[in-house]
Amino acid sequence: MKSMLRKSNLILFSLLVVFVMGMIPSAPPVPEEGMYPLSEIKNVDLKKAGLKISTKEIYNPQGISLIDALVSLGGCTGSFVSPDGLIITNHHCAFSAISAASTTEKNYLRDGFSAKTRADEIPGRGQCSIMESYEDVSNKVLKAVENVTDPVERIKAIAKVTKEISEAASNREKSIEARVSEMFIGKTYVLFKYRVIKDIRLVYAPPRAIGEFGGETDNWVWPRHTGDFSFFRAYVAPDGSAASYSKDNVPYKPKKYLKVNPKGVEEGDFLFILGYPGRTFRHYPAQYIEYQYKYQLPYISDLYEYQINTMLNISKGDDALELKYASRIKGLANTMKNYKGKIEGLRKIQLVEQKKQDDVLMKEFIKGNAQLNKKYGMLFADLDKEYTQLMNIAQATQYFGAGARSSAILKDVNTLFELAEETGKPENERKSAYTADNIESVKSKMIENVKNYDMKVEIPVLKKMLKDALKFETGSKINALYDALGRGAGEKEVDNFVEYLKSVFGNQDKLKEIIAKPSAELLNDPIVKFAKSIANQNSVITEENNKINGNLNKLLSMYVDAKAAYKNKGFVPDANSTLRFTYGHVKGYSPADATYYKPLTTLDGVIEKSYSGGDFIIPAKLKELYEKKDFGQFYSKKAKGLPVAILYDMDTTGGNSGSPILNAYGEIIGVNFDRSYSATINDYAWNESYSRSIGVDIRYVLWVTQKFNDGGYLLKEMGVK
Amino acid sequence: MKSMLRKSNLILFSLLVVFVMGMIPSAPPVPEEGMYPLSEIKNVDLKKAGLKISTKEIYNPQGISLIDALVSLGGCTGSFVSPDGLIITNHHCAFSAISAASTTEKNYLRDGFSAKTRADEIPGRGQCSIMESYEDVSNKVLKAVENVTDPVERIKAIAKVTKEISEAASNREKSIEARVSEMFIGKTYVLFKYRVIKDIRLVYAPPRAIGEFGGETDNWVWPRHTGDFSFFRAYVAPDGSAASYSKDNVPYKPKKYLKVNPKGVEEGDFLFILGYPGRTFRHYPAQYIEYQYKYQLPYISDLYEYQINTMLNISKGDDALELKYASRIKGLANTMKNYKGKIEGLRKIQLVEQKKQDDVLMKEFIKGNAQLNKKYGMLFADLDKEYTQLMNIAQATQYFGAGARSSAILKDVNTLFELAEETGKPENERKSAYTADNIESVKSKMIENVKNYDMKVEIPVLKKMLKDALKFETGSKINALYDALGRGAGEKEVDNFVEYLKSVFGNQDKLKEIIAKPSAELLNDPIVKFAKSIANQNSVITEENNKINGNLNKLLSMYVDAKAAYKNKGFVPDANSTLRFTYGHVKGYSPADATYYKPLTTLDGVIEKSYSGGDFIIPAKLKELYEKKDFGQFYSKKAKGLPVAILYDMDTTGGNSGSPILNAYGEIIGVNFDRSYSATINDYAWNESYSRSIGVDIRYVLWVTQKFNDGGYLLKEMGVK
């Protein structure tokens, strides 16, 4: 689930479908997949697909439409479902707000929360934004950089001009924040304006055992049984402007709110989703996927898995340790499972091979057309060159990235080096952290850090990382390691070296002694020498990556153009945290041999899973209600139970969490919260057979809200009788 | 899978369907489930179900029929598939034969085996038997015990008379072995005659990675991908009589062999199975199931799981230890998974409740009929009384049974006690093991045993067992424990006591010292005192169980009669390792919410699973063949692949392993080898929704045989072109 984007507050756009210059597509662009920018909705035959309202009702730049009910919410999506600014989103999107509001006495995380009156609603620190308008600023951006030839400088210049445009268009007083988003890498830029609301209050959350039912075990899993929803309310100053929390604030009156349809959906029904999907990588050449498949995904998932297993082994049977590691494990496991899903998916559909074949055909097509050949004749060789270099340093890149971040000792090793180097400089040339005023704080922080080291995890993880590094290929050799351990160093030398690091960082007195040394002496310390060598290579690798990415920025923009020429059709840009539309149907799937999963789960499955305990423990009340069969209007005769979750073939990714799922009439019938395991490769390629997203059924949302913590008043507010 | 019955060589029968005296059923007995005795086949409307041949072709006491192609094979089933005595059965039924024939150089278990010529076929120590005839001997048996009123004596008397009948009917010279089987407990007895064949040779086995693909992970699992088959050949003396291995022996010419149909089956096809199912418990009252559900299944599965986890934890990362524990873990895990499946299934369908309700209705029905009431009026109270007693001592029964067997130390503790007690007696009154001639051997064996103790497993398991015992309910209190540890003993005392046992049995010198003591002194040793107290209570519990079971033998025979009266229809006896017929269809199922499994798996699934490694590693050649798509005539267009395993709703249990799966024309299209997890409760109740058995598809059998170890000659022998 999740991978909630950290960035929030995003922005709007226009002519985004790529057409190759001069070539008229033989048919209107009707891709079978896609996260459509709003400008493209009108080009899709949605009526044929099942939509019963006009596309103007979904998006109308001249008037009010469904998109006015959408909010971007701290890396998630939400939607207004009442005239009084009530927002529905996921439980996992409200998690930190619920958690922050909870105490031992009032454990809202465990028990759920329901504001009995408006005054009881709990303010938090988040904000949300509503897209107001967008404008294509590609010409402005590209003009500003047309004379910049150095690829690294070009990227910096783009960042500068887009920042300037964003700032000029923002109007804080009128609660407008603007941001330029890169739609197609290196070529298309859109300025989005957002209305910002700064007072968001928690209204309702189900007990965690419902909102997070299945926990890590069921993460990325279908059949799913999670009631992953919560309600917020948006507040503004009495004059309608964005204001931070004040008791004088009033509920925001959205231009539009979604009608809730308590009847839900059935298999085969048409659906669409509006939301803020984070990041996809579909318009990249085979080599990009190969890089992910061969380097990034396995390195990180393997490293995280090792960390998780280390923590699990240490804490087995020790409740306190288990609790201590729980959230760290959870974070690592979410990424690990996603990456493993991607690796499995890439292997299964052999996407790298597929893309390679496609690229070969594209290359031949271009060769056969003089005009295109003139323009793109060198493109593939150039791409090859850059990606070959990128892969050459890939292992080192991963090591200096995710690897280094996984080791607290390595971070302190680096601090030790900076300390040695900076204190050797005259006061006025030092980095600010190391000036006379601050230096003692750096030192005491380091001493303090060391006290909290979890050596039982630190040491094996560091050993593993360094041993892995011994096996890196030529271009990625970690030289510092050999400088420190000797040319022919092996696993034994790594063990000894790490034990030595432990003897230093596991002993405050020894560390104090080292820190007290003057710069020149400290620079001779073997750890500092190692750190210096590491830091040097890191900056070389970073520079190389920047250069390659600078070159790729241009090449990839050409690649997209060349692809459009070759495919002779338009396609929509990769997701980039801007508002998108996607549509599809309630649909089961067959992810493994002889296996078929139906697209609707019921409360029976919740009860069944509850017997396995662990992540599946449920509130006693849920069992009681189940046994009473007290489902009222939310019972589905067709599903023979109370529907809980829905599966559909829409195109979503992280950031779509909390997106409303809308039926053919534009009524909300569920809330999107996850993808199936096989759909983790959606980020690289959408496919009808494996791409499935998961939402909580509105019937479960309403039933739980009504039955737990007396949330019936919300049904009334949403007009559900 | 498996739970291969240890008993082999079983036997034939007649009027087995129960009718209550004087009541004519309103319709012919057509139960929807069942493991039909051969006598009942004619009463089932098989034509309507889909059978295309006459029932006489399946079973014909006056002539040759399909049952003449069936063999009972060391707790499994097999069938003749060529005129030269070629037998097909499961790989797991041939496992010990393949294993025994394997060496480090010729690792047939790993690589598979194929006899290039008849002379290469490998003789083993097993035998098989073919049912020749059967006869109802109930009257003879019951007459012999009509005056025996003591229930324990009655059971002994039944055992005695059935043994006499069996022996009188056997004719070793003519290779005939006879055995009386109890069909309905305490009331119906049938004498089966079997032709025995004593020279069985291994002809063909696939590599273990195919024959056991999926290992413990996939055991009891659907979708399944195991090529669980092997071939034997039966040999007899030149005169046709049973003879142990001799190179002069000739292939046995079966009266009948099965025609192999290489076209396989499709979803929905009619199927039937002939085989030797081991044991079911369907004609037992609610209390019997309750006993299983509350006591036996949880006690044993929990104890085994603890042992498995202990071994897994100890051996993690230690290859030698992992190997050492592998087969022990495998055995325990097979039972554990079966029992857990049963517990889950019983809970899911609430069978105890269902049965209780049914028993209540039955009781009321009997009350309403004067004649029945006279006969069965007290039955339910009597059953209640016996089962109440049985449950009262249930925990102790489990402890003295599976519990005591799980601890090598407890066994030696008992030997120490016997040593003390027996050596205190005059020589001529001692048990034979303890006479002067043998006593040194007992002692040295014990010293030897101790050397091999795996204290890392022994100690925690023994502690767990004793701590569990502290929580036993009143009727099951293990008194010896309190005698040894003191009245208010708790977990701490258990730990101390076990550590004391460890200090004795973990120290050969100390043990030698104790053993050397004279009887009187030894009898005062605290361990021996504990052992004596344990032995005493064990014999009390055993006696009570015998008494209760003696009473139940009569009561359960009445229960079956009463049930027949109440249901007003006949039903077939529980499985008892005699030849049975069952039929059904190729059919998928839905074992969990939103989940549907199709009834045919393909090689694609094998390849897919192979990526998870472990139990799923496959021979490189299999992958190559898959990639070449070299499937010939065995490819199924409908399944879009090479079929591997089939799922069907037939009624099977342990002992049906290796049974031929036959199509509507009586041709073999697969070999049965397992049930699905949810079908483990088949043993208590069959149900269309969850009872599914699993077989290997004949297309996979033939394809593997042809492609691995050049077994193509066998296809020729079986008439497959």
pLDDT digits (tens, 9 = 90+) for A352-377: 999 999 999 999 999 999 999 999 99
Q: With a cut of 60, say whether residue A444 has pLDDT above it.
A: yes
**Quick one: pLDDT band at residue A219, thresholds 50, 70, 90?**
very high
Query: How confident is the model over A317-328, as pLDDT tens digits?
Result: 787 888 788 878
Mutate to test the interface with A, among B225, B349, B590, B593 (most CBs of A within 10 A): B593
Q: With a cut of 90, say whether residue B3 has pLDDT above it.
A: no
Q: Looking at residue A33, what is its pLDDT?
A: 67
B592: chain A residues, CB-CB within 8 Å: 223, 605, 608
Tokens of A549: 């990415």
Query: How confident is the model over A509-555, as pLDDT tens digits?
Result: 899 998 888 888 888 888 999 999 999 999 999 999 999 999 999 99
**Quick one: pLDDT band at residue A4, thresholds 50, 70, 90?**
very low
Amino acid at B95: F
Q: With a cut of 50, say whether residue B32 has pLDDT above it.
A: no
Mean pLDDT of A213-220: 94
Q: Looking at residue A1, what is its pLDDT?
A: 47
B594, B598, B611 ranked by CB distance to A223: nearest: B594
Mean pLDDT of A258-280: 97
Tokens of A3: 């991978």
Contact B592 A602 (CB under 8 A): no
Virtual torsion, Cα A660, A662, A667, A668, nearest 10 deg: -30
Contact A223 B593 (CB under 8 A): yes
Mean pLDDT of B372-401: 96
**Quick one: pLDDT band at residue B449, thresholds 50, 70, 90?**
confident
Q: With a cut of 90, say whether residue A202 has pLDDT above it.
A: yes
Contact A222 B594 (CB under 8 A): yes
Contact A594 B611 (CB under 8 A): no
Tokens of A143: 């003009």
pLDDT, averaged across chain A: 91
Query: How confident is the model over A646-671, as pLDDT tens digits?
Result: 999 999 999 999 999 999 999 999 99
Q: With a cut of 90, say whether residue B721 has pLDDT above it.
A: no
Query: How confident is the model over B569-599, as pLDDT tens digits?
Result: 778 899 999 999 999 999 999 999 999 999 9
Tokens of A707: 């039955």
Residue A443: half-sphere exposure toward Cβ, Cα within 13 Å: 19
Contact B594 A604 (CB under 8 A): no
* DSSP one-letter string for A377-409: TTHHHHHHHHHHHHHHTHHHHHIIIIIHHT-HH
Name, of A98-107, A482-491, B466-475, the range with top average pLDDT: B466-475
| Catalytic residue check, B651 | no
Does residue B602 sit at the A interface (CB-CB below 8 Å)? yes
Q: How many Å apart are CA A220 and CA A339, to the nearest integer?
A: 11
**Quick one: pLDDT band at residue A29, thresholds 50, 70, 90?**
very low
Q: How many Å apart are CA A670 and CA A695, to the nearest integer?
A: 6
Q: With a cut of 70, say whether residue A263 has pLDDT above it.
A: yes
Instruction: For residue A241, count CB atoms less than 10 angstroms from its CB and return exposed for 0-12, middle for 13-18, buried for 19 or more.
Output: middle
CB B93 within 8 A of CB B73: yes
User: Residue A600 in 3-state DSSP?
Assistant: strand
Closest CA to B710 of B111, B102, B262, B97: B111
User: B408-423 and B436-451 are packed helices; what angle lies between their axes, rounded to 10 degrees?
Assistant: 160
**Quick one: pLDDT band at residue A13, thresholds 50, 70, 90?**
very low
Q: How many Å apart are CA B216 and CA B228, to the nearest integer?
A: 13
Instruction: For residue A201, count CB atoms less than 10 angstroms from its CB and return exposed for 0-12, middle for 13-18, buried for 19 or more.
Output: buried
B592: closest CA of chain A, how far (Å) = 7
Contact B595 A593 (CB under 8 A): no
**Quick one: pLDDT band at residue B33, thresholds 50, 70, 90?**
low
Query: How confident is the model over A563-583, as pLDDT tens digits?
Result: 989 988 778 899 999 999 999
Q: Looking at residue A34, what is its pLDDT?
A: 83
Q: Looking at residue B358, what is its pLDDT?
A: 92
Query: How confident is the model over B535-547, as pLDDT tens digits?
Result: 999 999 999 999 9
Q: How many Å apart are CA A348 and CA B101, to the nearest integer?
A: 39
pLDDT, averaged across chain B: 91
Distances (CA, A) of A101 to A96, A104, A120, A201, B134: 8, 10, 12, 11, 77
Question: Out of B102, B230, B301, B657, which one is annotated catalytic?
Answer: B657
Average the pLDDT over each of A579-583, B157-161, B373-377, B686-690 and give the range with the smallest value.
Answer: B686-690
Contact B602 A608 (CB under 8 A): no
Tell me B260's DSSP state: B
> Exposure string (b/e) for A77-88, b if CB count within 10 Å is 16 or more?
bbbbbbebbbbb
A313, A594, A599 ranked by CB distance to B601: nearest: A594
Does residue B219 sit at the A interface (CB-CB below 8 Å)? no
Amino acid at A112: G
Q: Looking at residue A19, what is its pLDDT?
A: 43
Q: With a cut of 60, say whether residue B7 has pLDDT above it.
A: no
Distances (CA, A) of A344 to A659, A687, A690, B4, B621: 27, 15, 12, 37, 22
Q: Looking at residue A494, what is its pLDDT?
A: 94
Q: Which positions 609-638 of B are in contact with A (Cβ < 8 Å)? A: 611
Q: Looking at residue A122, what is its pLDDT?
A: 97
Query: Which residues of A are catalytically annotated?
Result: 92, 228, 657
**Quick one: pLDDT band at residue A25, thresholds 50, 70, 90?**
very low
Query: How confident is the model over A669-694, as pLDDT tens digits?
Result: 999 999 999 889 989 988 888 899 99
> Percent of chain A beyond pLDDT 90?
73
B344: chain A residues, CB-CB within 8 Å: 611
Q: Which residues, 6+ apart, have CB-to-CB distance to B668 below 8 Å?
A: B79, B81, B88, B258, B259, B260, B261, B660, B661, B662, B698
Amino acid at A292: Q
Q: With a cut of 50, say whether residue B293 has pLDDT above it.
A: yes
> Percent of chain B beyond pLDDT 70?
95
Residue with tokens 């996939």: B218
Q: Looking at residue B9, what is its pLDDT?
A: 28
What count of residues does chain A have?
A: 721
**Quick one: pLDDT band at residue B28, thresholds 50, 70, 90?**
very low
Contact B594 A600 (CB under 8 A): yes
Does residue A676 sit at the B interface (CB-CB below 8 Å)? no
Q: Looking at residue B403, what is its pLDDT?
A: 87
Q: With a cut of 60, say whether residue A381 has pLDDT above it.
A: yes
Q: How many Å apart are CA B447 and CA B505, to the nearest integer?
A: 9
Q: With a cut of 70, say whether residue B16 has pLDDT above it.
A: no
Query: How confident is the model over B390-444, as pLDDT tens digits?
Result: 999 999 999 999 888 899 899 989 999 999 999 889 888 898 888 888 888 888 8
B598, B602, B605 ranked by CB distance to A596: nearest: B598
B697: closest CA of chain A, how far (Å) = 14
Q: With a cut of 80, say whether residue A20 has pLDDT above it.
A: no
Mean pLDDT of A6-10: 30
* DSSP one-letter string for B468-509: HHHT--GGG--HHHHHHH-TT--HHHHHHHHHHHHHHHT-HH
What radius of gyration do chain B's Cα atoms show? 27
